[in-house]
Chains A and B, each alone.
Chain A
Amino acid sequence: DTAVSQTPKYLVTQMGNDKSIKCEQNLGHDTMYWYKQDSKKFLKIMFSYNNKELIINETVPNRFSPKSPDKAHLNLHINSLELGDSAVYFCASSPSTIRTDTQYFGPGTRLTVL
């Protein structure tokens, strides 16, 4: 019944590895997002997709590549992981890109790069 789900919940990996985080929403929303929460708990948007099209792309290294196979899924692939990538990554969705639409967040994926 989970509205926005992410896998895995925890991810521990070595520097230089490539990893993916998956996100799925069953709310029928058109818009999905990836946010990053750093160690100071500041949460910032990374990407946003609307109907599988990229609409927000913040200043994020090219090593991060989102992929949206369909409206219900937005995966995040990270190449050549670095220590500074350690953070909690949250996926979210909203009905559309209208600014007053509520964003629904997933439970987060805690990524630790050793």
Chain B
Amino acid sequence: DAKTTQPTSMDCAEGRAANLPCNHSTISGNEYVYWYRQIHSQGPQYIIHGLKNNETNEMASLIITEDRKSSTLILPHATLRDTAVYYCIVSAGNKLTFGGGTRVLVKP
């Protein structure tokens, strides 16, 4: 599976949009981009996934560049409960490998 690169941490203001970037320059054609998050002391929680089209659900939007080498997770209106580590994962199967992720702190 392709590797991903994410910023180590970022802060976001409550109520504002949070844009989380992810680089996956070695992604292959059959690999999906998945986003999960892990709130402190809890198990990971699924957010969204996509192959090449942009995706939106009740939690977030996923924007994938045309060359698929990078993507951005958008939390439209961040709340304090969105404080967590966000993982961008690239995989062709259901074998997920979580890297270091981005530690997002939402501030009042």
Q: Answer yes or no: do A and B interact.
A: yes
Interface of B is mostly: loop
Interface size class of A (residues with CB under 8 A): 20 to 34
Chain B 19-49 interface residues, beta-carbon cutoff 8 Å to A: 32, 41-46, 49
Q: Tell yes or no: B91 within 8 A of A by CB.
A: yes
Binds A, one of B10-18, B65-73, B74-82, B95-103: B95-103
The answer to whether A40 and B100 have CB atoms under 8 Å apart is yes
**23 A–B pairs (Cβ distance < 8 Å), ordered by A:** A31-B94, A42-B97, A42-B98, A42-B99, A42-B100, A43-B96, A43-B98, A44-B97, A45-B96, A45-B97, A56-B95, A90-B44, A92-B43, A92-B44, A97-B94, A99-B32, A99-B92, A100-B32, A103-B46, A104-B46, A108-B41, A108-B42, A108-B43
Chain B residues proximal to chain A, CB less than 8 Å? 32, 41-46, 49, 85, 87, 91-101
